[in-house]
Amino acid sequence: MIEPGTFTSRSGMRFRRRDNSVPSLNTAALPDLIFTVLFFFMIVTTMRQVELKVHYQVPQGKELSKLVRKSCVSYIYIGPPAQHLQPALGTDTYIQLNDKLATPDDIAAFITDERSRMSADDLSRQTVSIRADRHTDMGIIADVKMALRRANATRINYSATQKK
């Protein structure tokens, strides 16, 4: 009896017909590949940083302490505009909140917006870090502090470098 898919030639030899179907794709390595690509993007990707529009040279201090939880910190930058912005803005002192230049009147809305992004646990630890240029007029810093007081942001940190 002849098996299906085979035939016999005139000389009596048996030949098998080729199976023209496409072989199935082996997907056993697919999860490894996906996790490798995911791991690569996790390593290469950086979190969004604030583009500084003001230049500040941090003052020096003797008794400094580090911030413990940086997720609870909102930054206010104060200083003259950065080099690439000086032709348009001049050399006056500016306040930067996240990525935009602002006035002391905008600080209350900034604090409200920052609080809405924080978890309930972080709200009690919210700290505002003022990163001011060492040559900034104290009148501007006093205006910022008054705006923070009106916004009920009483934990204030001043950034400085260790004095040698």
The domain ranges of the chain are 6-44, 60-162
CATH of 60-162, one of 1.10.260.40, 3.30.750.200, 3.30.9.10, 3.30.420.270: 3.30.420.270
Per-residue pLDDT of the chain (164 residues; tens, 9 = 90+): 556 656 666 666 665 666 677 777 788 888 888 999 998 888 887 766 777 888 778 888 888 888 777 778 899 999 998 877 777 777 789 999 988 899 999 999 999 999 998 888 888 888 999 999 988 999 999 999 999 999 999 899 988 888 87
Token pair listed for 29 = 């390595």
152 sits in the region (left: phi over 0; alpha: psi -120 to 50; else beta) called: left
